[in-house]
Amino acid sequence: MAALLAIDISTGGILRAPLRAMLVRVSSGMNAIGIRIGESGYFASKRSLARENARLEAEIAQLNERDAARDSLERENEMLRALTRVVGSGAGISAPVRSSLGASPYGTFLVGVGRAEGVSEGNIVLTGAGFVVGTVAEVHEHTAAIAMLFAPGITIEALVGDIPAAVEGQGGGNARAQIPRAAIVTEGMTVSAPGYGGRHIGVVGKIDSDAARSEQTAYISLPINLSSLMFVYIAPL
Amino acid sequence: MSREFALRSCAFIVALICGVFFSAWLALCIMIVLFIRYAAWEALFVALALDLVWFVPLESGGLLHTVPFIAVIAAAALWLLEPVRAEILH
């Protein structure tokens, strides 16, 4: 096992790259199957059969199905529209998220674009609202591994409002920062990182202040639900 | 097909799916529970696969981002739980 790991690391990912490509393909396939099942109206029909007569049930299912499909397209459209706003600010590429954002203990996730699409290591990854969610850590032919900014164990220099602070990642899109108690920090204050072109990286969600301590703790999070993130925008720093 | 083979195969598949699609921590828990009863060396391949998929060495990331710890913890658990297994089996 150690030998396999050593071979992979020394060759720059001879095992990692095909494994990740396979995962991205499986994930895309499962996504397509999910859409097909949703479109088939199978589950909706089952529920409706118990309540309605056959004709009404079929009609309702059809309408529900259309509604669900429209909602899904609207959501996707909204996300892509949001991304195009970010696109306007520089050269980059929108990318589909191809793995769970909570599965990795290292705070990493995979996207379905890679070297062939112009992605390179060190590129920043943005949400539709323009918040930096991570950086491109490894690039393969058609996939890339993203290291999240708030991954556990990662510390970055940031500005909470205009107060400099070291922000420690906690995983799951959350982080915390120790700030002098004398500094005025409020909930909802944005956090930006000079190292990432001064872009926003999060929002202060909660402040924990203890009179006995000289510092207060600001809990920072991304203002989006990570599990609903379907697309990201990858741009050079 | 023996009960042991069925159980180990099932745990292997569940751990792999959990680790890739839901949570690698959950996969690690499944592996450790499996190691209490069996010397399930095949689970090390799940740990290795998860590290190959998720682990990215980062210079600024501290210990967590320099060591592929799923594989390390799984290997350590397999070895350290040997006395427990011996106690259960005999």
Map tokens 């083979």 to a residue: B5
What lies within 8 Å, CB to CB, of A24 at 6+ separation is A98, A99, A110, A112, A142, A143
Which of A8, A105, A154 has the CB atom closest to B54's CB atom?
A105
* Radius of gyration in angstroms for the set of CA atoms belonging to chain A, rounded to a whole number: 22
- Indicate the helix (H) or strand (E) that contains A169: strand A163-171
Is it the case that residue A88 has pLDDT exceeding 70? no
- From the list B6, B10, B28, the residue with the least C-alpha distance to B19 is B28
> What is the total count of domains within chain B?
1
Exposure of A78 in the CB half-sphere (CA atoms within 13 A)? 9
* A161 closest CA partner among A149, A177, A150, A173: A177
Question: Could B54 and A104 be called an inter-chain contact, meaning their C-beta atoms sit closer than 8 Å?
Answer: yes
Give the largest Cα separation in chain A, rounded.
70
- pLDDT tens-digit readout, A103-157: 888 889 999 899 888 899 989 999 888 889 999 999 988 899 999 988 888 888 9
Amino acid letter for position A225: N
With bands split at pLDDT 50, 70 and 90, how would you rate the model's confidence at A41?
low
> In Å, what is the CA distance from A215 to each residue of A122, A155, A167, A169?
33, 18, 14, 18
B→A contacts (Cβ < 8 Å), by residue, are 19-25, 44-45, 47-49, 51-58, 60-65, 68-71, 75
Summarised one tens digit per residue, pLDDT across range B36-67 is: 888 888 889 999 999 998 988 877 767 778 88
Instruction: Measure in Å the smallest separation between the Cα of A155 and chain B Cα atoms.
Output: 7
Token pair recorded at residue A53: 């007569």
Q: What is the pLDDT of residues A164-208, one digit of tens each?
A: 999 998 888 899 999 988 888 888 888 989 888 888 898 998 888
Query: What's A184's DSSP letter?
Result: -
Q: Is the ipTM of this structure higher than 0.90?
A: no
Tokens of A65: 């199905």
- Judging by DSSP bridges, how do beta strands A132-139 and A144-148 pair with one another? antiparallel
Contact B35, B85 (CB under 8 A): yes
SS3 readout for A54-76: HHHHHHHHHHHHHHHHHHHHHHH
Which residue among B19, B44, B65 sits closest to A103, beta carbon to beta carbon? B19
Å between B11 CA and nearest CA of chain A = 18
Question: Could you tell me the residue range of the domain that residue B37 belongs to?
Answer: 3-89
Residues B16 and B49 sit within 8 Å (Cβ to Cβ)? yes
Read off the pTM: 0.78
A-chain residue closest to B18, CA distance: A103
d(C-alpha A203, C-alpha A190), whole Å: 4
